[in-house]
Amino acid sequence: MIAASNDPPSLISPNSELPLNPDIAPLKLGVLASGSGSNFEAIAQAIVNRQLNAKIHVLIYNNPNAKAAERAARWHIPAVLLNHRDFTSREALDGAIVQTLSDHDVEWVIMAGWMRIVTNGLINAFRDRVINIHPSLLPSFKGAHAIQQAFDAGVKITGCTVHLVRLEVDSGPILMQAAVPILPDDTLETLQTRIQVQEHRIFPRAIAIAAQL
């Protein structure tokens, strides 16, 4: 019997798949992630499933312990550590990010749980091509603790938002949202799990929509 594993269901690299339409070039993505990388993985899976015509050229992560890097290795996607502690300013970190993305021929920047505030250096280098996901129905509950804030506020519906990135944190044109009810017996953990299910569903779709604007 083959043992169950946490590996992706298929070890085919998302980069090895043919594009949906051979006349349309795949989007050239660079993903920024600080943590678990489940959204990074959802995008890779959507590419393999041919739901998103794209290729992930590189993952950049800032936290040496980020699980996202392990996921990238399993998908055979190059991963580059740019530890923010090695840089003297946000601008210097973003300069290194822009250089790394350019070195990997990236055209679209996907912030998938990137827990650093970005500067104009990155935003202007990829004008209208930097996309973020946030775990609330923006413009409600901006910031790093959005799920906790919604939970504490007693709202009955929260959700997640995919949007273009502007200098003001968690602002910018909204591409797609999904609503998630807060149930009477929810804990922070059960709510977060249901929000992430929706994040994984809408993020690849929103990237495809952004490319058509």
- In whole angstroms, how close is the CB of 5 to ligand GRF at the nearest point? 19
Pairing of strands 174-181, 130-134: unpaired
Strands 108-111 and 130-134: parallel
Provide the token pair at 33. Answer: 């992630």
In the complex with ligand GRF, the residue whose CB is nearer, 59 or 106, is 59
Contact yes or no for 197/155 (Cβ under 8 A): no
- Taking the complex as a whole, the smallest distance from the CB of residue 70 to ligand GRF amounts, in Å, to 12
User: Is residue 163 annotated as a catalytic residue, yes or no?
Assistant: no
Cα–Cα distance for residue pair 98/116, rounded to 1 Å: 14
Q: Which two tokens stand for residue 18?
A: 């043919």
Residue 198 exposed, middle or buried by CB count within 10 Å (0-12, 13-18, 19+)? middle
Cβ proximity to ligand GRF: between 99 and 173 the closer is: 173
The residue type of 5 is S
CA angle 27, 32, 36 (to 5 degrees): 120
Footprint of ligand GRF (CB under 6 A)? 33, 35-39, 112-113, 133-135, 160, 196, 199
CA distance 75 to 140: 35
Q: How far is the CB of 184 from ligand GRF (least distance, A)?
A: 22
User: Catalytic residue among 57, 76, 104, 134, which?
Assistant: 134
Residue least distant from ligand GRF (Cβ):
113
For ligand GRF, the closer CB: 26 or 37: 37
Closer of 20 and 115 to ligand GRF (Cβ): 115
Query: Residue 40 Cβ, how far from ligand GRF at the closest point, in Å?
Result: 6
Known catalytic residues are 134
